[in-house]
Amino acid sequence: MLITPANLKTLFIGYKTAFVGTLGQAASQYQQLATVVPSTTGTEEYGWLGQMPGMREWIAERVVHGLENHGYSIKNKPFELTVAVPKTAIEDDTHGTYTPLMQELGRSAAAHPDELTFGLLKDGVSVKCYDGKPFFAANHPVKNAQGKLESVANADLGGNGPLWFVLDTSRAIKPLIFQDRKKPNFVAMTAETDPNVYSKAQFEYGVDSRCNVGFGFWQMAFASNQPLNADNVWAAINAIEQCKGDGGRPLGLRATTLVVPTSLQRVANKLLTAELVPNADGTATESNDLKDRLKSLVSPWL
């Protein structure tokens, strides 16, 4: 193939089609546990992360929930992935062998939100959320009905196994936030005067985006590294569903999702699908009260 602007444009269109096709077809999971928030600036402020307002009887004037400003913000980050096609591959008409590489660019771009979101979920045992505590902590400050601060836990980290999580993903606001500033964009450097072409005799194709992830409400999530069994899963469910907001007001949360790494997927599947399980003393079987109680979400990024 002759290296002409017209031929390079045709090649770019072909590569971009391969990229976009895979980008649109790749399965992703991040939207199941993260609220997607469009971003228009470099940093977004989430001062409203502090309260979940509840309805009250309207007596006299409205009570305006100002939503305590916790100063929580998420700064967008730039991301990129670039591959090179040798100039000789285009001259010798072997550029078609690089089409799968462009498809892999699309797959990587599609998987990136999952990698960020599940990675942050795992790091929640150390990374702080809006109240200044790690997202998964034993001492989140909450005011009780008498207005006194109490410590509330949303984690049981006394074990030594892999982390697993129970979440409430049923609401518009989910446990995590995915902030989308710029969607993946396919670009190229193919001009004869571009440094990569002039100095290295290679054409570069890549994808760039801007986004980031952050924490929503810790009350909607529970982490554990204890053995994944019925008792510990029920403990996590109860911790979420019995959680109260400031003033002792029940939040009405409902645990919906069990998130596990691939190493625990078989155990999770049995817990949530088996009809019968051994009873307490192991002498007989009984109905599995966890059957269909939660949906299972398996991630390789945990």
- Provide the residue-wise pLDDT of the chain in tens; the chain has 302 residues: 778 788 888 888 999 999 999 888 878 999 999 999 999 989 888 877 765 554 444 444 443 333 343 457 889 999 999 999 998 888 887 778 889 999 999 999 999 999 999 999 999 999 999 888 999 999 999 888 888 889 999 999 999 999 999 999 999 899 999 999 999 999 998 888 888 888 888 989 999 999 999 999 999 999 999 999 999 999 999 999 999 988 888 999 999 999 999 999 999 999 999 998 888 787 898 899 999 999 999 999 99
Distance (Å) of CA 232 to CA 126, 160, 165, 210, 228: 21, 14, 11, 38, 6
Closest by Cα among 259, 249, 78, 251 to 173: 251
Structure tokens at 283: 């002498």
61 domain-assigned: no
Residue 207 within a domain: yes
Residue 57 lies in a domain: no
Tell whether 272 is covered by a domain.
yes
User: Do residues 103 and 19 lie in contact, with contact meaning Cβ atoms separated by under 8 Å?
Assistant: yes
Alpha carbons within 13 A on the beta-carbon side of 242: 9
- Residue identified by tokens 């979920």 is 121
Domain assignment of residue 54, yes or no: no
What's 134's DSSP letter?
B
By residue range, what is the domain housing residue 181?
5-49+71-299
Inside any domain, residue 169? yes
Computed on alpha carbons and rounded to an integer, the radius of gyration of the chain in Å comes to 25
SS3 283: coil
Residue 162 falls inside a structural domain: yes
What's the maximum distance between 2 C-alpha atoms anywhere in the chain? 81
Residue 58 lies in a domain: no
Determine the Cα–Cα distance for residues 186 and 12; give it in Å rounded to an integer. 9
Domain count of the chain? 1
